[in-house]
């Protein structure tokens, strides 16, 4: 292989192309992404602050606060750079910057998957084993988050040990793993194996845990005496399951498939769903349907009204 076609990954930069094929829609896309990003930040920030203000937090409330914190970090890792790429029609990123973005994206995405699994397990324990609820759920979230960061570090190291070829253009709006692997000149099989291992640990395993938890809940609720309570519980579980299937479906489509089926344009569209749409929907589906969160938000509004009345005196 010619030395001119290979650049040392320690000295080169990548060029993120973003949606360069849609330059005529650049302004519309930029404004849409910006509005969605700001609404996502506001919604998750409100939920996070609300959970922090509650002195006694049951595990589900604690998980909702963690999920909001993860979503805040997750969107801040991806969207600001994506907006810059979109506004400029492409933007350079250093190799260390690309590696850091990939590591944080995978780690936070894995933490999100584990949290969704933990929240499904939380619902299973609350419905099926309420007497052991506190003992089973204690300390679960932090351990799962640490596991996702360890898996993400291993994957990032495997990818950035590879030699990268010219031209140094990544046809994506962030340093996603399949898009960066397309620029590798050799040794991609080992990184593909690392990617598959990460997908098994961060995607398939939590997804199976979620399905198993909701299946056990459905079996337990099918024998419940109250049709009203059964319907309400099924409604909550179905809404959680719907957003979970959307997230895992998009992620599985991008990461668990044959390398030959890679399509940059299609992948960018699907990536928009799990980097922009699902973070926007989590506060609505998970948090605002939670009675504890709604109660805390009402207390916050009452305090704000009382404070305003006192300031006007």
Q: What is the mean pLDDT of residues 263-271?
A: 83
What pLDDT, on the 0 to 100 scale, is given for residue 5? Answer: 46
Residue 221's alpha-carbon distances to 27, 59, 90, 236, 239, in angstroms, are 49, 21, 52, 12, 16
Q: What is the mean pLDDT of residues 235-262?
A: 75
Q: In the block, which residue shows the tokens 């291992």?
A: 197
pLDDT at 311 over 60: no
Alpha carbon distance 72, 127 (integer Å)? 30
Would you place residue 38 in the very low, low, confident or very high pLDDT band (cuts 50, 70, 90)? Answer: very high
Choose between 96 and 131: higher pLDDT.
96
Choose between 279 and 234: higher pLDDT.
279
Q: What is the mean pLDDT of residues 163-192?
A: 82
**Under 8 Å CB-to-CB from 236, ≥6 apart: which residues?**
123, 289
pLDDT at 1 over 50: no
Q: What percent of the chain has pLDDT over 90?
A: 13
What pLDDT, on the 0 to 100 scale, is given for residue 242? Answer: 76
| Sign of the dihedral through C-alpha 193, 198, 201, 203 | negative
Q: What is the mean pLDDT of residues 36-59?
A: 84
Q: What is the mean pLDDT of residues 244-253?
A: 79
Least confident of 96-105, 124-133, 162-171, 218-227: 124-133
Average pLDDT, the chain: 79
What pLDDT, on the 0 to 100 scale, is given for residue 184? Answer: 82
pLDDT at 136 over 60: no
Q: In the block, which residue shows the tokens 């419905």?
A: 127
Would you place residue 250 in the very low, low, confident or very high pLDDT band (cuts 50, 70, 90)? Answer: confident
Question: Residue 100's closest CA among 169, 160, 161?
Answer: 160
Question: Residue 177's closest CA among 249, 124, 101?
Answer: 101
Alpha carbon distance 147, 277 (integer Å)? 25
What pLDDT, on the 0 to 100 scale, is given for residue 57? Answer: 67
Q: What is the mean pLDDT of residues 187-192?
A: 70
What pLDDT, on the 0 to 100 scale, is given for residue 312? Answer: 52
Q: What is the mean pLDDT of residues 172-198?
A: 82
Choose between 147 and 305: higher pLDDT.
147
């Amino acid at each position: 292989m010619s030395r001119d076609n290979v650049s040392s990954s320690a000295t080169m930069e990548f060029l993120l192309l973003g949606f360069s094929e849609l330059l005529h829609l650049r302004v519309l896309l930029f404004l849409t992404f910006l509005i969605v990003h700001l609404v996502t930040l506001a919604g998750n920030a409100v939920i996070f602050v609300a959970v922090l203000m509650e002195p006694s937090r049951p595990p589900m409330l604690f998980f909702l606060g963690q999920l909001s914190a993860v979503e805040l970090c997750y969107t801040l890792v991806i969207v600001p750079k994506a907006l810059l790429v979109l506004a400029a029609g492409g933007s350079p990123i250093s190799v260390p910057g690309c590696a850091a973005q990939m590591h944080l994206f995978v780690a936070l995405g894995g933490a999100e998957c584990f949290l969704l699994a933990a929240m499904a397990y939380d619902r299973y324990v609350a419905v099926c084993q309420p007497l052991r609820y506190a003992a089973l759920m204690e300390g679960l979230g932090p351990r799962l988050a640490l596991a996702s960061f360890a898996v993400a570090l291993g994957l990032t190291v495997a990818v950035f040990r590879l030699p990268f070829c010219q031209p140094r253009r990544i046809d994506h709006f962030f340093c996603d793993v399949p898009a960066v692997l397309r620029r590798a000149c050799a040794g991609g099989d080992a990184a593909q194996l690392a990617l598959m291992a990460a997908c098994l640990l961060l995607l398939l395993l939590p997804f199976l845990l979620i399905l198993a938890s909701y299946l056990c809940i459905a079996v337990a609720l099918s024998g419940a005496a109250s049709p009203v309570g059964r319907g309400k519980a099924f409604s909550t579980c179905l809404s959680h399951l719907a957003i979970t299937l959307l997230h895992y479906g998009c992620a599985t489509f991008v990461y668990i498939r044959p390398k030959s089926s890679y399509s940059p344009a299609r992948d960018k569209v699907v990536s928009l769903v799990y980097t922009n749409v699902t973070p926007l929907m989590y506060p609505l589906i998970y948090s605002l349907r939670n009675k504890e969160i709604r109660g805390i938000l009402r207390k916050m509004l009452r305090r704000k009204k009382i404070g305003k009345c006192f300031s006007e005196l």
